[in-house]
Structure formats: structure tokens, C-alpha cells
Amino acid sequence: MPNDQHPEPHTEARPVSTFWVTFWTLTTGGVAIVVLLVALALVTRLEDETSGAVLAVFPPRTPQDRIFAAIEQSDARVLRATRLSNAWILEGTEPSFVGALKAAGALGAWKPVSGVSFAVGGCGFGAVLSNDPLFSPPPASS
């Protein structure tokens, strides 16, 4: 080998730690799930003019007496509690029921069987409500 040529130094690839692979996989997956849930919540949110059965969500750590005052102020009927203390399944017959809930302090309202419901009540929450007589149409009369 001539003197003017230098051999390239031998570099060894360092193995990637399993910790970092797991960390970045879980971090990326977690961020993707949060982004999808937020997008789903924004898309399925009910308009102010909506009435009927809704999943009403109040700000986190809202005292229960304030939540019940807001429910009373909006002329809502409580159908069911959820696993979260700030989310309730309510029903109202006024044409702008959701708007009244928001004016009384709710963050928003969603259909109880929408894609948002599973995040509030567990994986089987939508299936439970869809089989619940409260949320089923009345039987057809013969």
C-alpha cells in the first residue's frame, strides 16, 4: 500500500438500547392516541341547538353542587352518572338544550353513544348504552 493512502478507521455500530426503542414507541403511540381522541371529540361535539340525551362534560374538579346547579339551571334530567365525576348523561327537551348547558358551565356535550363515550365510561360503555331501554326507540305499535 502506498504511503499517501490511509486506511479508513474501523467504526463499529453501537447497538440501540431496548429501553430507548420501547420509550419512543410508547411515546409516539401515546401521542397518536391523544391526538385521535381530541380530533374525535372535536368532530362529534353537539351544536348548541341540540336537545335530547347527551353526554355533558364539566370542567375537571368542578364541585358536585355546581354541576347539579348547572343541571337544574338548564332544566336537564339526569339519566346516568359516568366513571368521571365531571361527566353526566343528561336529557333535555328544550330546543337549545346544549347551549343552556354550556351557559350553565358545561365544557360541551356529545351524543352518549358517540366515539367519545368510550373514553369516559370504558370500552363497553357505548355498547351498554345502545342496549339500554332509555336510549332505544320505542317499540313499533302493531
Residue 2 resides in a domain:
no
Residue at 141 is within a domain: no
Tell me the one-letter amino acid at 123: C
Of the two residues 43 and 124, the one the predictor is more confident about is 43
How many alpha carbons lie under 13 Å from residue 119 in its C-beta half-sphere?
15
Please state the rounded mean pLDDT for residues 21-27.
93
Q: How confident is the model at residue 125 (pLDDT cuts 50, 70, 90)?
A: very low
CATH number of 90's domain: 3.30.70
Residue 99 within any structural domain of the chain:
yes
Predicted TM-score (pTM) of the model is 0.60
Judge whether 122 lies within some domain.
yes
Q: Is the pLDDT of residue 43 over 70?
A: yes
pLDDT in tens, 73-115: 999 999 998 889 999 999 999 989 999 999 999 999 988 764 4
Would you place residue 129 in the very low, low, confident or very high pLDDT band (cuts 50, 70, 90)?
very low
Whether residue 11 lies inside any domain: the answer is no
Q: Is residue 35 part of a domain?
A: no
As for how many domains the chain has, the answer is 1
Range of the domain at 76: 45-135
| Per-residue pLDDT at 63 | 94
Distance CA(80)–CA(107), nearest Å, equals 18
* Contacting residues for 114 by C-beta, under 8 A, at least 6 apart: 44, 55, 126
Who wins on pLDDT, 56 or 13? 56
Share of the chain above pLDDT 70, in %: 70
Answer whether residue 112 is part of any domain.
yes
